[in-house]
Chain A
Amino acid sequence: MTSKIKVNILADGGDNAIITSDGAGSFTASSGLASSVQSVGGIQNTPAFYAYLSSNISNFTANQYNTIVFQTELMDTASCYDTSTGVFTPNVAGKYFCFAQAKMGNFGDGAGNKYVTLAFFWGGTSTQAGQTNIEANGETTVSLSNIVNFNGTTDSLRVRGYQNDGAGTRFVVGGSGSGTGVGAYTYFGAYRIIGA
C-alpha cells in the first residue's frame, strides 16, 4: 500500500533539515543535500558538448593567437556552444571539465626554433596553454584539459592557436583521419561536474 505524509521539513535524527518546503511547493535543500545533489540543474553532467574542426584552417596569422572555430557538433545538450564563433557559454553555473586538442603545423621558412601553442581563453585572457616545439614542415598535436568555473550567464571559453613561424603556410588540420586513424584531429568539448 502506498501512503502519503504531508510535511514541510524533512530532517535527520540530529534535527538537521534535509529539505524544507514553504508549503506552496517551493523547496530548499540543505547544504549537505545540495552538495550531493547539486540542486541547481539536477543530477546531470549537463550542459555538455563536443565539437570538432571539420575543415582545415590555412594561413594562421603568425605570432598571434587565432580563434579556432570548431564547425561541427557531435553533441550539444543545451545549445551552449556556438559553431559560428567557437565560443562555449554554458547556461548553468558550475564547474566544468573542459578539454581540447589541435593538430597544427607549418610549411616554414626552414629556420629552426618553431613552436605551436594551444590555449584556453577566458574572455580575452589566456587561462591555460600548451606548447610544443616543432621543426619547419613538421606537424604536431597539442592537448589541453582543465576545470573551469562558469557563472552560467556571461562567462565563456574559447580555444585559440598560436604559431611563431614567420613565413609559409601555418595551418590547423580539420576533418578525420583515414585508414585505422578514424576520429577528429582537432576538437573541443566540456561537461558540468556534479557537486564540485
Chain B
Amino acid sequence: MSTILVNNIKDTGNNTLLTSDGSGTVTLGSGFPQNTPAFLAYVSANQNLTDSTTTKVDIDTTQIDTHSAFDTANNRFTVPSGQAGTYQLFAQANIGNANGSAANLRDHYLYIYKNGSGIAFSDHNPNSSWWAQNTSYVSLITDLAVGDYIEMYAYINVGAGDGRIVSIDSGRIKSFLYGHKLIGA
C-alpha cells in the first residue's frame, strides 16, 4: 500500500481538478459541473403599471449574478456563451394598486417570459371580493439555449387608477426573479 501526500491535483494541461487545504476540506476545480449560471435580481423601487395592461417588470438590481448575465438596464437574464442547458426559474411579485391600501385589486397575472413570450404564469381572479395586495409566484424547469433571454411580466386589473409592483418593505425584497442551471438534467 502506498500514499501520496498532495494538496492540489491538476491535469496534464495544468488545470486544477481538486484542491485540499491540508485539513481534509476539499474544493473541486471550476471544471466540475456547477449550478451556474445563477442569478437573483429584484425590483428596488415600486413600479406602477398601467391598469389592465401586461407590462415588463423593472428588475433593476442584482443580488447574485455569477456570470454577469443579468442586464439591469433591460431587466433580463440572457444565457451566456457555453451555458445552454436545463434551468430552474422562479418569479415572485407583490402585486397591489398604486393607491396603496385600497382594496380594489381584481384579476392579476404574473409571467415568466422567454424571448418575448410567456412560458409560465400564475393566475388570480378574486371575483367580487377585491384584495389590497397579493404575492404571486411562478416557477418552472425549462431548457434554454445560448442567447435566450428571460424576463418577468405582470398584468394587474384594479378598480381605479393603476396597478403596482411593490419592491421592498422594511428591508425585505418582495418582488424578484431568480434562476440557475441544473446539472445533468
> Do A and B form a real pair?
yes
How far, in whole Å, are A75 and B142 apart by their CA atoms in the complex? Answer: 9
Q: Flag whether A18 is at the interface (Cβ < 8 A).
A: yes
Do A13 and B20 form a contact, CB below 8 Å, given A44-B184, A143-B138?
yes
Q: Which residues of B contact A67 (CB under 8 A)?
A: none
Sort chain B's interface into a size bin: 35 or more
Main SS class of interface, B = strand
Q: Which residues of A contact B68 (CB under 8 A)?
A: none
A-B contacts at CB below 8 angstroms, number:
177
How far, in whole Å, are A187 and B89 apart by their CA atoms in the complex? Answer: 14
Q: Which of A7, A42, A99, A173 is most buried by chain B, counting CB atoms within 10 A of its CB? A: A99
Q: Which residues of B contact A105 (CB under 8 A)?
A: 125
Report which of A9, A14, A15, A143 forms a contact with B1, defined as CB distance below 8 A.
A9
Quick one: CB contact mask for B114-137 with A, threshold 8 Å, 1 for yes? Answer: 000111111111111100000011
Q: Flag whether A33 is at the interface (Cβ < 8 A).
A: yes
Q: Which residues of A contact B21 (CB under 8 A)?
A: 12
How far, in whole Å, are A44 and B185 apart by their CA atoms in the complex? Answer: 7
Q: How many Å from the CB of B50 to the closest CB on chain A?
A: 14
Number of chain A residues close to chain B: CB under 8 A: 57
> Is B141 in contact with A50, judged by CB distance below 8 angstroms?
yes
Binds A, one of B3-11, B37-45, B168-176: B3-11
Quick one: closest B residue to A137, CB to CB?
A: B127
> Is B182 in contact with A15, judged by CB distance below 8 angstroms?
no
> Is A45 in contact with B35, judged by CB distance below 8 angstroms?
yes
Q: Which residues of A contact B63 (CB under 8 A)?
A: none
Q: Which residues of A contact B23 (CB under 8 A)?
A: 12, 14, 16
Q: How many Å from the CB of B124 to the closest CB on chain A?
A: 5
In residues 84-113 of chain A, which contact B (Cβ within 8 Å)? 97, 99, 101, 103, 105, 112
Report which of B9, B12, B123 forms a contact with A139, defined as CB distance below 8 A.
B123
> Is B140 in contact with A189, judged by CB distance below 8 angstroms?
yes
Q: Flag whether A10 is at the interface (Cβ < 8 A).
A: yes
> Is B28 in contact with A7, judged by CB distance below 8 angstroms?
no
Q: Flag whether B54 is at the interface (Cβ < 8 A).
A: yes
Q: Which residues of A contact B90 (CB under 8 A)?
A: 99, 145
Do A30 and B24 form a contact, CB below 8 Å, given A101-B138, A183-B140?
yes
Q: Flag whether A152 is at the interface (Cβ < 8 A).
A: no
Q: How many Å from the CB of B8 to the closest CB on chain A?
A: 9
Q: Flag whether A32 is at the interface (Cβ < 8 A).
A: yes
How far, in whole Å, are A145 and B141 apart by their CA atoms in the complex? Answer: 13
How far, in whole Å, are A18 and B117 apart by their CA atoms in the complex? Answer: 48
Q: Which residues of B contact A138 (CB under 8 A)?
A: 125-129
Q: Which residues of A contact B117 (CB under 8 A)?
A: 180, 182
